Each structure stands twice: as structure tokens, then as C-alpha cells.
Amino acid sequence: MSAPGRGRKAEWLVTMPSFAWLLVFFAAPSLIVLAFTFHGHTANGGVGEWSLSTWRELVDPDYPTIVWKTIRISFEVTVWSILLALPCAYAAARMTKRWRALVAGAIMLPFWTSFVVRVFAWKTMLHPDGWLQTCYHAWLHFKCWLYAWIPGVGVPAWAHGGTGDCLIGVAGCAIDAASTTMIDSELAVVLVSVYSFLPFAIMPMYTAAEKFDFSLLEAARDLGAKNFYAFRKIFIPGIWQGIVSAVLMVFIPAVGSYVIPQMLGGTECVLIGNKIFMRAIQNRNIPHASALAVLMAVSVLVPLAAAMWWKRRQTLRDRRRLEVRTAQLMTGGGEAQR
């Protein structure tokens, strides 16, 4: 860059296309969706006059429950994805170059098949007559038996799939086969969501882990740390940025997902994505669907913004405390209070 003016101009030119793209295909549609919520709807599925009627009609008592359920399930999916992806990313980053390429290929392989087809495949796998269901039932029976066998301990609801009747007595435990199928349940939605979003969790963490200096773990062990302690205290903070992006990469699509709950959730697991789909396509009420979308976005963005603000405040506070401590050290030697 010879002159600063020219450099900035060149930079502007390079950024321009992506900026324009974002403006036309992201910012503008978002604003249009927001504007739609302040319109009524017409009988033939169009957008009506400016009015607050859409927001007034948004008082379905089910909505708070559905929003909460969407957030809860997205959270579960995120936690499981991160927990599964962390050892994957660690192991992949420690492999030799050739194995790394193979593993990265294997992680990306499912994307060669249509997402809907893969979810449909799960539908067959989770079928009540399928082997996964058989295994699941065997597991539930085992748990029931185990809990009945331990004297004085009742069978908690989660031990028999949640909804089935469980009788403890001489017969042990009976499981209602019809109400403990895997398909059309929250379990299926979480399971298949984790399956679908796992690559999005592994990739950012793997990228961060690849840059991580593994001799730091050796140094930690050298100074007396056990393997897991070194992993927890050195590796995880070391790839923290990767973990944060992995959380966002999983949580955000999980909140908006509707194919998985549609195909595997049945009536038990209807999420906000399904409601938006229903309002937009079946009821042909675009403003209502837009309002739901805005509601969902706000209920995710507000806590996120709050968390970021809190974190920033914490960092600033830490920095100030360290400055004070340094000043004390410089004047009072080692006597300063920590």
C-alpha cells in the first residue's frame, strides 16, 4: 500500500461485493420479514394493510412452551455435539497428515448425500420393528430390572423412557411398548440433530486444535499435571475460540431446524420451525409466520447479547484488577493483596 488513501480505496473495492451481497440477500430480507409482522394478512395468502393485528393475534398459549422447548432441545443438541466433537477434534489434530486428510474426508462424506434423504434413512432405522428400537427396549428393560432389583429405590421416570407405565412388583417392570418407541419422540429429534450437526461442531474445533501447540500439554505434564487436567486446563482454553464457533455453528441451525422434527418428532416434538412452516405454507399467513420468526430470533439474540456484554464487562474488570495488582507489586513488593 503506497498511499493510505489508495489502500483504503482498494480495500473498499475488495469488500464491496460481499458487503453488497449481505445487504441485498440478508439485511434487506430480514427487514422485509420484520416489516411483514406489522401487516395484516389477506384471505388468499397475501400481505395486507399496515396494522398491529398480527402481533395481537400472536397470543397462542402454546407459543411460549414451543419457544422454550426449541431452545431447550437446541441446547441439548449443542451440548452433546460439543462433547462428542471435542475428543474427535483432539484425536484428529494429533494424527499424521495422511490420516488427518482421511478423517476430514470421512467427516465430510455425509454431505455428498441429500440431507432429507439422510433424515429419511434414520426414519427407517428408528422404525418400531427396527434393530435400534429392539436395542432401546432391551436397554429400558435392563434399567427397569436394575432399579427394581436395588431395594428401596423406585424407578425414576427417565429410566423407562419417560411416558410408559412402570409397575414395580414381583413381576419387576412392565414397559408399554407403544409409548416408548424411539421414532416420533424428542429422543429421535435430539439423536438425529446431533448426527446432522456433529460435522459443524468438529470442523471449527479441529481447525483450532490443529493450530494448538501440543508441546504445551507435555509442559503441563512435566510440571506435574495428569493427562485429563492438562486437557481441561490447557487444551480447552487453548482452542476456546474454536469451541465458541462450534457452539454457534450447532445452536443456530438447531434453533431453526424443522426437517428433523417434522420427520422424526411426530406430535410430541413440534418446534418453532415447524410452526413457522405451518403458518407460512399451510395457513398461508405470511405475516404470522414472520412474527414467529422474529420472536424466535429475539429470544435467542437477547440472551446472547446479554452474555457477550457480561463477558466483556468481566474482561475489563479483570484487566483493571491486574493493573491494580501490578501497581501494588511495584510499590509494595510481594506484600500486596491478591
User: For 60-104, what is the HEC assignment?
Assistant: CCHHHHHHHHHHHHHHHHHHHHHHHHHHHHHHHHHCCHHHHHHHH
The single-letter code of the amino acid at 267 is: T
Cα gap 293→213, rounded to integer Å: 42
Task: Check residue 237 for interaction with other proteins (CB under 8 A).
Answer: yes
Nearer to other proteins, 175 or 230 (CB): 230
| 68, 229, 309, 310: residue in contact with other proteins (rule CB under 8 A) | 229
Task: Check residue 109 for interaction with other proteins (CB under 8 A).
Answer: no
| 69, 118, 221, 284: residue in contact with other proteins (rule CB under 8 A) | 221
Nearer to other proteins, 4 or 334 (CB): 334
Task: Check residue 280 for interaction with other proteins (CB under 8 A).
Answer: no
Task: Check residue 213 for interaction with other proteins (CB under 8 A).
Answer: yes
User: How big is the site for other proteins, counted in residues (CB under 8 A)?
Assistant: 26
CA 267 to the chain's CA centroid: 22
Task: Check residue 315 for interaction with other proteins (CB under 8 A).
Answer: no
Contacts from 106-112 at CB under 8 Å and sequence distance 24+?
A: 107/199, 107/202, 107/203, 108/199, 110/199, 111/199
**Nearest approach, Cβ of 337 to other proteins (angstroms)?**
10
Task: Check residue 219 for interaction with other proteins (CB under 8 A).
Answer: yes
**Nearest approach, Cβ of 94 to other proteins (angstroms)?**
15
Part of the chain binding other proteins (CB under 8 A), chosen from 38-46, 141-149, 170-178, 222-230: 222-230
x-or-dash string of contact with other proteins, 159-198, rule CB under 8 A: ----------------------------------------
Task: Check residue 232 for interaction with other proteins (CB under 8 A).
Answer: no
Nearer to other proteins, 97 or 338 (CB): 338
Name the residue among 287, 267, 264, 266 with its Cα closest to residue 276. 287
**Nearest approach, Cβ of 330 to other proteins (angstroms)?**
6
Task: Check residue 330 for interaction with other proteins (CB under 8 A).
Answer: yes
Task: Check residue 152 for interaction with other proteins (CB under 8 A).
Answer: no
Name the residue among 244, 223, 197, 231 with its Cα closest to residue 76. 197
Part of the chain binding other proteins (CB under 8 A), chosen from 77-85, 97-105, 143-151, 230-238: 230-238
Q: What angle do CA 307, 322, 336 make, to 5 degrees?
A: 135
| 68, 139, 218, 232: residue in contact with other proteins (rule CB under 8 A) | 218
| 129, 223, 267, 282: residue in contact with other proteins (rule CB under 8 A) | 223
Cβ distance 286 to 47 under 8 Å? yes
Beta bridge partners of 169: 172
Task: Check residue 240 for interaction with other proteins (CB under 8 A).
Answer: yes
What three-state secondary structure class fits 250? helix
Cα gap 89→243, rounded to integer Å: 10
Helix (H) or strand (E) holding 50: strand 47-50
Write the CA distances from 160 to 267, 297, 299, 323, integer angstroms.
Answer: 20, 35, 33, 56
Task: Check residue 323 for interaction with other proteins (CB under 8 A).
Answer: yes
Cα gap 296→317, rounded to integer Å: 32
Cα gap 304→296, rounded to integer Å: 13
Task: Check residue 220 for interaction with other proteins (CB under 8 A).
Answer: yes
Part of the chain binding other proteins (CB under 8 A), chosen from 2-10, 107-115, 118-126, 322-330: 322-330
What three-state secondary structure class fits 23? helix
Footprint of other proteins (CB under 8 A): 213, 215-216, 218-226, 229, 234, 237-238, 240, 322-323, 325-326, 329-330, 333-334, 338
